[in-house]
Structure 1
Amino acid sequence: MTRPIVVLKCGGSTLEQLSDSFFEGLRALQEQGKQPVIVHGGGPDIQSMLQQLDIKTEFHDGLRKTTEPVMNVVEMVLAGSVNKRLVTRLRSFGVDAAGLSGCDGGLLECKPISLETLGLVGEVTHVTTNVLEALFLKGIVPVIAPIGVDKEGVHYNINADTAAAAVANALHAEQLMFVTDVPGILKDDKLIQELSISECEALISDGTIYGGMLPKVRAALATLNDRLQQVAIVNGAMKQNNGCIRGTTIKRSLEVV
């Protein structure tokens, strides 16, 4: 029987802040019979390296325009140093992990969003899951750098949020978690532990959900479907309770009366 799959997207700004209990929570997921998959970003590390190499970059609608020199740095940082640091830390907590990029085994097939506006920024068109399934059989946690490849072999920079959503959908994941630097969705400074789709939309309308939380919630709502029934927004730096990863869970099933 296939183990339930949980996909975690770890933002680049949160990677160095991930708490010990976050990794203990990951190990607990495995002990509960679940299969974690991690997709990570690395924006701050990429920006730092671009500045060191004096390579100019710009953003359009939150996406980094990726020229060939920028792409070389993106791939070096994401699939190299960031990916391997995360794998090493997972293994130090007893979580057997293997790092790979979306180019390995054609894992993340993609096409350009707009070569003129964004350059080598891609959107996922297909996820080749057999690469991941082979790791699952060995009890290994895949750690994926969001680099994609098209049919001509050209490599692309992929937004980590959308890459994680594509992986979750392709694997028929039970849950998707966006790991951030905030505890979840707050109302009157109190954490909301569960929300339905309609409740999220109401909180967006009344301004409770705003700023940096808004794109995360919208991505979560867009990902929910008949297979993937819940998306969580959690703080990777927060001390967790008894190994359980806590935050706000948005549940599609709460819509059913």
Structure 2
Amino acid sequence: MSVVVKIGGAKAVDPAGAVADIAGLVDDGEPVAVVHGGSTAVDDLLDRLGIDPTYVETPGGVVGRFTDEATMEAFTMAMGRVNSDLVATFREAGVDAVGLSGVDGGLITGPRKSAVRVIEDGKKKIKRGDHSGKIESVNADLLETLLGEGYTPVAGPPMLADDGVPVNTDADRAAAAVAGALGATLVVLTDVAGVYADPDDSSTLIESVTTPAEYDALTDAAEGFMTKKVMAATEALESGASEVIVADANADAPVTAALGGSGTHIHRSALEDP
């Protein structure tokens, strides 16, 4: 059973510990695929280019950067740099890493969106824009071939739209799709220890979610950026992932610690009808 590790792109996430830990797991024969974000790199590049990003809120309460043409160009450049830097770091750690975008080999594909639903001034509206896509399929054969030959895939957005054009997609949801396609355990590394029952109190960590009632409590507790991660966890489990763990990227040996019990563990049974 393989492991998919999502390494976040926020400023507060230092990937060094995860890279060293994954290197140890790979050395022990554990197949690991990595999916990365790059939100900070994209924001920094937009700032250097003098482009003011537009942020929108979905009806589900998720806030994200709206992708127009200029933002898409910056996004593609920034994500390419993040991928190359991360692959180089893995290779320096002794991992035979292979960098991929969702475009390569048709790794992550789906239809282009023509618009997104947003909340503006308390009202639901439609915002037109066709530079993002909805993930529908993952080329699991490509990943399994690489893993079978001893390589560690390191992948990130963009994805490939059904009209053959690269478009934006969320990295958490990309990781969820990859984990689902591989039937893997998904470890989502972020800048907190997991999902808290009280988002302002780290002592309220939700350690295990195994029943529908516990899952309802989890979704009620998730706020802000964590809403998107819980949404991605749901998609991962629904599409075939064996388990999802939301854990602290900055912990000692964060992936090993997560697999050993730290963080918030969300099990497939939590989505089953009681």
TM-score, normalisation: structure 1? 0.84
Q: What SS does the corresponding residue of 1:224 show, helix, strand or coil?
A: helix
Name stretches of at least 5 consecutive residues in structure 1 with no aligned partner: none
Q: 2:14 aligns with which of 9, 14, 17?
A: 17
Question: Does 1:249 find its partner at 2:244?
Answer: no
Query: Residue type matched to 2:39 in 1?
Result: G
> Residues 121, 235 of structure 1: CA spacing in aligned structure 2 closer, same or farther, 3 A cutoff?
same
Q: What SS does the corresponding residue of 2:135 show, helix, strand or coil?
A: strand
- Give 1:19 shift: 4.2
2:88 alignment counterpart: 88
Question: Does 1:201 find its partner at 2:216?
Answer: yes
1:223 alignment counterpart: 236
The separation in 2 between residues aligned to 1:108 and 1:99, in whole angstroms, is 14
Query: Conserved in 2, the CA contact under 8 Å of 1:25 and 1:244?
Result: no
Q: 1:5 aligns with which of 2, 6, 12?
A: 2
The separation in 1 between residues aligned to 2:161 and 2:223, in whole angstroms, is 35
Matching of residues 28-67 of structure 1 within 5 Å:
28-61=24-57, 62-67=63-68
Question: Does 1:73 find its partner at 2:74?
Answer: yes
Query: Residue type matched to 1:104 in 2?
Result: D
Matching of residues 161-200 of structure 1 within 5 Å:
161-173=172-184, 175-186=185-196, 189-198=203-212, 199-200=214-215
> Residues 254, 64 of structure 1: CA spacing in aligned structure 2 closer, same or farther, 3 A cutoff?
closer
Q: Deviations over 1:125-177 (max 9, x none)?
A: 2212232223112211111121112233211011111111111122222x112
Question: Does 1:125 find its partner at 2:136?
Answer: yes
Q: Deviations over 1:38-57 (max 9, x none)?
A: 11111111111111112233
The separation in 2 between residues aligned to 1:183 and 1:228, in whole angstroms, is 21
The separation in 2 between residues aligned to 1:39 and 1:201, in whole angstroms, is 27
The separation in 1 between residues aligned to 2:208 and 2:48, in whole angstroms, is 43
**Percent of paired sites with the same residue:** 34
- Give 1:243 shift: 4.5
Q: What SS does the corresponding residue of 1:124 show, helix, strand or coil?
A: coil
Question: Does 1:99 find its partner at 2:102?
Answer: no
The separation in 2 between residues aligned to 1:65 and 1:6, in whole angstroms, is 31
Query: Residue type matched to 1:65 in 2?
Result: F
Query: Conserved in 2, the CA contact under 8 Å of 1:14 and 1:236?
Result: no
> Residues 14, 178 of structure 1: CA spacing in aligned structure 2 closer, same or farther, 3 A cutoff?
farther
- Give 1:104 shift: 0.9
- Give 1:181 shift: 0.3
Query: Conserved in 2, the CA contact under 8 Å of 1:147 and 1:157?
Result: yes
- Give 1:204 shift: 4.3
> Residues 151, 251 of structure 1: CA spacing in aligned structure 2 closer, same or farther, 3 A cutoff?
closer
Query: Conserved in 2, the CA contact under 8 Å of 1:14 and 1:237?
Result: no
TM-score, normalisation: structure 2? 0.80
> Residues 118, 43 of structure 1: CA spacing in aligned structure 2 closer, same or farther, 3 A cutoff?
farther
Paired residues in the alignment total 249
Query: Conserved in 2, the CA contact under 8 Å of 1:6 and 1:37?
Result: yes
Query: Residue type matched to 2:132 in 1?
Result: V
> Residues 227, 112 of structure 1: CA spacing in aligned structure 2 closer, same or farther, 3 A cutoff?
closer
> Residues 244, 24 of structure 1: CA spacing in aligned structure 2 closer, same or farther, 3 A cutoff?
farther
